[in-house]
A and B are shown apart, each in its own frame.
Chain A
Amino acid sequence: MPVGKPGIKTLWWGLWLLGSLALAAWLGMSLLDNDASKSAFLPGAMTHGHHQIELQCSACHDEGFNSQDVLQNACVNCHGEQLADARDSHPKSKFTDPRNANRLANVDARYCVSCHMEHRPELDVGMGVTLPMDMCVHCHQDIGEERPSHQGMTFDTCASAGCHNFHDNLALYEDFLLAHADEPWLSERPRLTPRNLASRMSDADLVALIQGSGKPPADKTVPEHWDGNAHAEAGVACTACHGDADQWVDKPAPLQCAQCHEQENEGFLQGRHGMRLAMELSPMTPSQSMLNMHVEASHRELTCISCHGAHDFDTQKAAVDSCLGCHNDEHSNEYLRSSHHRLWQAEKRGELPPGSGVTCATCHMPRETHGDDVLVQHNQSLTLRPVEKMIRPVCMQCHGLEFAIDALADPHLVEKNFQGKPEHHVPSVDMAVERDKAREGKRGPY
């Protein structure tokens, strides 16, 4: 080979080196730049629960990737409160006892990721669970001996709808089943507790906030839908949201509403509609959803005003029309043909008392009583999966427990937005009643 003249091989090596350096530089810059997309670093797609925030690596990994505890803390930071509220049936403390050391060899249940592995969508058997559904066998293999009623049942049916959940059994534990046995399918007075947002008006700090300060710029006029809306009725000043003349903004920041609606905002940020904002990402849009959405709604940004409107603050619209303006799946579309919807129409026409109708929000944003306040839970993901989470806060507001269990356990009925009757009967309540009968009236001191 002649000296001083680079061969074709050398040229290729040079190009490869240059390309590698350029790629490394681009990856390095992407990693260090907080605003740059991190999609190149994703080792695999994320589950339906986290895909909205999959590009905010630090949401789960914090500053590094070297500690299982960092991941665990991230899980607990977002989900810990809900698990505590659900009286988690399998808290971490159950597994830290050294006597369970041999069990941890099968499933290290001290860590959420042992059962909910991310970036491995091919392992997801539903609800973000990435272990086989018969995993209960590792600890409960003797259940057939303890409970003859369970003999012959296979371990992949433990978590069948209406039986047991790993975390949340608030509506499924035996004494609760017994306490609500023999309930009619529909209560005598199926009615929602009225919201009482106005009761908060006794709070002096809140009143000061809604009165705002200063005056709006002289060229601003009262918007078209203002008169008669809830904010106008409550005396909310323009400056409370937009700022006074010196600090006026035509479009207040997405989370401006939180100034007064703190609890509603907290729920919103925890749910799938608001979790991107909570992670300081741009607002969620229907185009980013894994569900079927209306094409024309693809690029709508999800903030408070997306559903409530900028100046009409119409809760009736927010309860149904806003949802159906984006959601285009079978369950959503079937709502318009459901008896729940017919009740809602009758309520709107004034033929039924307030609280009689059932809207999308009735089920997915249930009303919660906190002391004297009746608030709307804006985390619509809170009761979504597993379906039994909906039984107590939602279904049982109007329906009996047994009917609620059967209805939610019927996927076809859920898809049809509860038009019709449950196809199968889940015998949970029957089994509890049978076992209670066998006690022949024996009762403890309490």
Chain B
Amino acid sequence: MQYSRTLFATALATLLLSACGGGQESKPAVGIDPQVYTDSLFAVMNADRTNYTKMIIGRLGPAGADSIKPHEYWEDLENGAPLPAQMFRYGAEAVAEVSSDFSYSLQSLWPINSQNAPKTELEKEGLQYIVDNPGKNFYGTEALGDTTYYTAVYPDVAVAAPCAACHNNHKDSPKTDFELGDVMGGVVIRVPM
């Protein structure tokens, strides 16, 4: 809410200055607050992912019409369909192809693929924070290479029973007692400053 007010105040000030004939030379730098930016991105990501999980996999998968086969290696199956987590990653990869203005990834303290374990100190801190503080997000800045990033970590919750069951039974999963509603990992969004 605080950031929404900041954004509104900035926009109002800009409008007033412009109306007073402030001119281009006095135009203040206008930008969206990084937290509002990453929160908005996450809202879209999370909505899409939940919708895919419930409306596609839930409705057409084995628990529904059983007309598609959600599977990790879906491309080798007739009527195979990517798992929600894969769908999410494909989105991240597609974004990386066209933009370097932000990046995102799905990580976990208990990753099925060890490459998706937290690597940077901020990732480790953030992923632990969202597990210890259910319902809260984590924000911070970090320097990677020669760039400073605004990094936000959002909880990735088991929204459907198969999410927990899939992880609990996967041969590469280090944790096998996830339950519906548990924080299984986190979405890490980075914005170069």
Contact = CB atoms under 8 A, between A and B. Distances in A.
Interface of A: 87, 91-93, 96-99, 101-102, 104, 139, 142, 146, 173, 175-176, 435-436, 438-439, 442-446
Contacts of A442: 169, 171
Given A97-B103, A173-B73, A436-B171, 11 more contacts: A93-B93, A102-B145, A139-B115, A176-B73, A435-B171, A442-B171, A443-B169, A444-B166, A444-B170, A445-B166, A446-B162
A443 B162 CA distance: 12
* Majority secondary structure, B binding face: mixed
Contacts of B73: 173, 175-176
A98 B169 contact: no
A114 to B, nearest CB: 16
16 contacts: A93-B92, A93-B93, A96-B96, A96-B100, A97-B103, A98-B149, A99-B123, A142-B114, A175-B72, A435-B171, A438-B171, A442-B171, A444-B168, A445-B169, A446-B62, A446-B166
A99 B120 contact: yes
Nearest to B123: A99
A96 B145 contact: no
Contact of B62 (A104, A443, A445): A445
Nearest to B94: A93
Interface in B90-119: 92-93, 96-97, 100, 103, 105, 114-115, 119
The residue among A101, A176, A445 with the most chain B CB atoms within 10 A of its own CB is A445
A201 to B, nearest CB: 29
Contacts of A102: 144-145
A99 B119 contact: yes
B115 to A, nearest CB: 7
B132 to A, nearest CB: 22
A435 B62 CA distance: 26
B70 interface: yes
A102 B61 CA distance: 40
A444 B62 CA distance: 12
Contacts of A104: 145
A150 B192 CA distance: 38
Contacts of B75: 87
B83 interface: yes
A104 B147 CA distance: 14
A445 B123 contact: no
A104 B146 CA distance: 12
A444 B169 contact: yes
B190 A98 contact: yes
A61 B72 CA distance: 39
B165 interface: yes
A102 B123 CA distance: 15
A446 B69 contact: yes
B162 A445 contact: yes
Contacts of A101: 144-145, 147
Interface string B61-101: 11100000111110110000001000000001100110010
Contacts of A435: 171
Contacts of A439: 171
B70 A446 contact: yes
